[in-house]
Structure 1
Amino acid sequence: MPARPTAASGPVWANLGMDIVSATRVRGLLDDHGETFFGRMLTPAELADCRNSTGLDVLILCGRIAAKEAVFKTFRVRDRVLPWRDIVIRRSTGGWPLIELRGSADRMAAEAGIAEITVSISHDVDYAVAVAAPVLGAPGPPTGPPSPPSRPDTQ
């Protein structure tokens, strides 16, 4: 039996990642260090997605941080630092989160045999939680953007 599930018979879900972040803690970091502190964790576009008419929405910020942590946990790596800005949480046109992996995060996912990751984020009062679920593909070197699906020969 292989050490981890494979996608030989179709998509396989494995290695869930989950994280919870306290808004009280994030507010404290924001008060002590300002927005620039979070610029080490989030891209400028991600920070912009966390803004509302009065400034940064702390619960949305917490959700993004929790999502990045949850995604990293799906890689099941040891002795590696979370590549904060290589895990990008974008907002779809429908409002749900989309995961984009870059650089070292893309390489870790490829090494783990992860072809795609989906995430769910929820927040209420003083906490945000995120769950990340990978779809496994063939382990190997990182690849570029996914290829369009092949079409059957029409001859």
Structure 2
Amino acid sequence: MSSAPPQTSELGIDIIKVDRIRRTLERFGSRFSARVLTPSEHRYVRDRPETLAGRWAAKEAASKVLGLGVRGIGWREIEVERLPTGQPAIRLHGRAAARAEQLGMERIAVSISHEADYAVAIAFGIRTAGGRFLFPPDIEERLDERERRILARLERLRAMSAAADGAGPTGAASGDTAIPDAATHAEGSRA
């Protein structure tokens, strides 16, 4: 009988003054929101400063769960979707999805709240055993040929070990990971 793999978690939180987003929108208009939001996020936010501030905080919090802050990934690679229930959900694209796969990140739950002058978000990531070492997403670009061979060998050994244990790799394989677990995504609270 097999037991569930051990899990670890990562936590990210961010708070931002709504007025900071308002001033940025006044100065740069839709150019700013187009740089930060995916097209579907932009349709939902419609340059409302409070809503954009909440999305900004959620993206920052999720990037902290991935251990990156916003370095190494684009703002639009972390998408904050709105479920039919109104709850926010995280969808990862590109390098953010690759990082989640690298970490063995099963899902990221997010909660967004607004209070007068501030928007705050907290993200909670569940990581299962089998995640890889915590290399930066652009590690291969920084390596010389010898280091690339060593990294490739580590990857082969890790894959062989996982196969021998009967556990395949975890995370998304497509580079585009949806992580909406409606039971754990509550706007403003967690059950």
- Shorter-chain TM-score: what band? 0.7 to 0.9
Bigger relative contact order, structure 1 or 2 (CA pairs below 8 A, ≥6 apart)? 1
Match of 1:67 among 58, 63, 66: 58
Structure 1 unpaired stretches of 5+: 1-7, 147-155
Larger radius of gyration: 2
Structure 2 unpaired stretches of 5+: 133-168, 179-191
Match of 2:173 among 135, 138, 143: 143
The number of residue pairs the alignment matches comes to 135
Hey, what does 1:17 align to over in structure 2?
Answer: 12
Judged with a 3 Å threshold, the aligned counterparts in structure 2 of structure 1 residues 79 and 119 are, in CA distance, closer, same or farther, namely: closer
In 2, the alpha carbon distance for the partners of 1:20 and 1:78 equals: 14
Hey, what does 1:85 align to over in structure 2?
Answer: 76
Which amino acid in structure 1 is aligned with residue 27 of structure 2? D
Residue 85 of structure 1 deviates from its aligned partner by 0.6
In 1, the alpha carbon distance for the partners of 2:20 and 2:81 equals: 23
Hey, what does 2:40 align to over in structure 1?
Answer: 45
Contact 2:63 2:70 in 1 (8 A): no
Q: Which runs of 4+ in 1 moved over 4 A?
A: none
Q: Give the structure-2-normalised TM-score.
A: 0.64
Query: Could you list the per-position Cα deviations for residues 6-62 of structure 1 after superposition, in whole angstroms to 9, with x for gaps in the alignment?
Result: xx74573511000011111011101111122111110111011113xxxx3211110
Percent of aligned pairs with the same amino acid: 38
Hey, what does 1:76 align to over in structure 2?
Answer: 67
In 1, the alpha carbon distance for the partners of 2:70 and 2:60 equals: 15
Judged with a 3 Å threshold, the aligned counterparts in structure 2 of structure 1 residues 45 and 135 are, in CA distance, closer, same or farther, namely: same
Instruction: Looking at secondary structure, tell me which structure has more helix per residue.
Output: 2
Query: Could you list the per-position Cα deviations for residues 69-113 of structure 1 after superposition, in whole angstroms to 9, with x for gaps in the alignment?
Result: 000001113893342111111000000001111110001111222
Over the aligned positions, Cα root-mean-square deviation in angstroms equals: 2.2
